[in-house]
Structure 1
Amino acid sequence: MTEPLLIESHRDGALEIVTLNRPEVLNALDRPLIDALNTYFEGLVERDPVRVVILRGEGRAFCAGLDLKSPSNSLHTGVRAALDVQQRIARIVQRMRRCPQPVIALVQGAACGGGFSLALASDVRIAAPDARMNAAYINIGLSSCDIGCSYLLPRLIGASVAAELMLTARFLTAERAEKLGFTSETVAADKLLDTGLALADEMLAKNPMGLRLTKQGLAMNIDAPSLEAAMALEDRQQVLLTATADHREAIGAFLDKRPPAWRDS
């Protein structure tokens, strides 16, 4: 059997490229792929040597959403079984947000429903010109408040545009996504991976603990109850980092005009 999820190690293990590998169905999410994504992102919490993750889809689409033809995804086998399917998919998003590694999503073609949520849960999104993303959940008789969309989307693009997209399931094109700040940039499809790798290399040039705490701080402070609460977290992170060997190395490297040699300590 073809593996539903491909994992490639790069940059001496500091970078992993994770590829959804069901191109014949536009990388739609069936039970094996859902379970593989859950296992992978859950395991990242304990894998400090992996510092950045690139998430992509094989073939002409990022992810077309839930595989409605797969019997394992049926939502019509009773409340308990339907809740199990729902929560399995939802846990992917929770684990992507919880893992300490920044996740860069490379989006080409369709990113619909569950695929849209995978893009939402990533830290940075880069799109090809043919990217078409939407909150497709409502198109199958459900609510668009699904798999983290009602939480993440308004925080990324604002409540009004999020409501428009969620209430209509309109497609978000690459051009509009970049204008809204949903994606960082749009690049030719054949440059997508190279652009993601270049961004990952910039992240890998930073101190490992600072990278992890920056992701954590962004995730926590988006819901901070006040500026004072957000700055209190920032103050504690900065003081913690001043006690590290990597902070001292960074100061020395800056003064010596040389690249730092990180020890993650």
Structure 2
Amino acid sequence: MSFVLQDRPVPEVAVVTLNRPERMNAMAYDVMVPLHDVLREIGQDNGVRAVVLTGNGHGFCSGADQESAGVPPGVAGVTRPTYALRAMEALEDVVLTLRRLHQPVIAAINGAAIGGGLCLALACDLRYAAPSAYFRAAGINNGLTASELGLSYLLPRAIGSTRAAELMLTGRDMSAEEAERAGLVSAVHDDVLTAAVEVGRRIASFSQPGVELTKKSLQAGIAASSVEAHLPSEGIGQLYLRLLTDNFEEASLARRQGRPPVFRDGRDA
């Protein structure tokens, strides 16, 4: 049985599904290592313009698997402290791979996103939720810290420091409706997967380097120390596409002709 499924409902959108529903798609290494490999493979497929990440069954991802976590890669013969380091690195690589993909990643959160599952959702570029979805920073409930896999970096930037602190320190659940109000998800949809795929199709209609540079710029903006420090990188991206493609001219012509633009991401010599 494959714990990670890949589908192409439309050629330009890849849907990656965590497929261990009996464990609510918990972060066992039997799930996370294949997920990492599938994401790396998709990242090298230039025909894929957007990625949707979702879960099978009632959970998106329930975080750490407390019963059958499996064995992380690369731990043969190591000591217990090194084992722990390798185990965390394997999970961190999944979060970093989501962030580094050329394509935007859209989380279709079909159910519980708990602990590390919330971190997976936050590592995606866009998030949509089913009405039954809920979110929990669960580390504090388990006698640990609520800070894991980038949560204390990403969550305050998604919903603000005050809301993030309240969720992380109380360990309470946030419903899909509250998540929408707080800005954790863009919208709540009864058929969240179909909605996410449609967003992916819309993204795929735009310039490929334009989308890739926008993703990079958003991430750089979150980490920037000031708007003054960030402005030059945005300007360079705009100039890059303005000078090297005729996308701007095509968009203007398409508006005048009342048709969708077709971006070729190039310019005649």
Over the aligned positions, Cα root-mean-square deviation in angstroms equals 1.7
Which range moved further: 53-62 or 195-204?
A: 195-204
Residue number in structure 1 paired with 2:210: 210
Q: Distance in 2 between matches of 1:179 and 1:24?
A: 30
Distance in 1, Cα, partners of 2:257 & 2:131: 42
Q: Which runs of 5+ in 2 are unaligned?
A: 73-78
| Equivalent position of 2:238 in the other structure | 238
Runs of 4+ in 1 over 6 A off after TM superposition: none
Shift of 1:253: 2.6
2:40 to 26, 39, 42: 42
Aligned partners of 1:107 and 1:128 also within 8 Å = yes
User: Could you tell me how far apart the structure 2 residues matched to 1:116 and 1:29 are?
Assistant: 11
Q: Which amino acid aligns with 2:2?
A: E
- 2: CA distance between counterparts of 1:33 and 1:251? 46
Q: Structure 1 residues 201, 173: CA separation in 2 closer, same or farther (over 3 Å shift)?
A: same
1:94 is matched with 96
Q: Is the 8 A contact 2:49 2:200 kept in 1?
A: no
> Given residue 38 of structure 2, which amino acid in structure 1 is its aligned partner?
Y
- Percent sequence identity is 39
Which whole-Å CA distance do the structure 2 matches of 1:10 and 1:249 have between them? 28
Distance 1:185 1:119 in 2: 14
Q: Pairwise mapping of residues 1-265 of structure 1 onto structure 2 (< 5 A)? A: 2-12=1-11, 14-72=12-70, 78-188=80-190, 191-242=191-242, 243-265=244-266
User: TM-score if structure 1 supplies the norm length?
Assistant: 0.92
Provide the rounded CA distance (Å) in 2 between the counterparts of 1:19 and 1:138: 28
Checking the alignment, whether the CA contact within 8 Å between 1:106 and 1:193 is kept in structure 2 is yes
1:183-235 per-position Cα deviation (integer Å, ceiling 9, x unaligned): 111122xx212211221222122111111111110000111122122211111
How far did 1:132 drift? 1.4
Q: Distance in 1 between matches of 2:20 and 2:263?
A: 37
CA distance in 2, matches of 1:24, 1:61: 9
> Structure 2: which amino acid aligns with 1:89?
L
Contact 1:67 1:73 in 2 (8 A): no
Q: Measure, in 2, the Cα distance between the counterparts of 1:181 and 1:207.
A: 26
CA distance change for structure 1 residues 154 and 71 in 2, over 3 Å: closer, same or farther? closer
SS at match of 2:70: helix
- Measured in 2, the distance between the counterparts of 1:233 and 1:175 equals 35
Task: State the number of aligned residues.
Answer: 259
Question: What's the TM-score once normalised by structure 2's chain length?
Answer: 0.90
Describe the SS at the equivalent of 1:161: helix
- CA-CA distance at 1:26 after TM superposition: 0.8
Distance 1:153 1:73, change over 3 A: farther
Q: Which amino acid aligns with 1:244?
A: T
Secondary structure of the equivalent of 2:108? strand
**Shift in alpha-carbon separation, 1:71–1:105, aligned structure 2, 3 A:** closer
Shift of residue 71 of structure 1?
4.9
Distance in 2 (alpha carbons) for counterparts of 1:82 and 1:149: 19
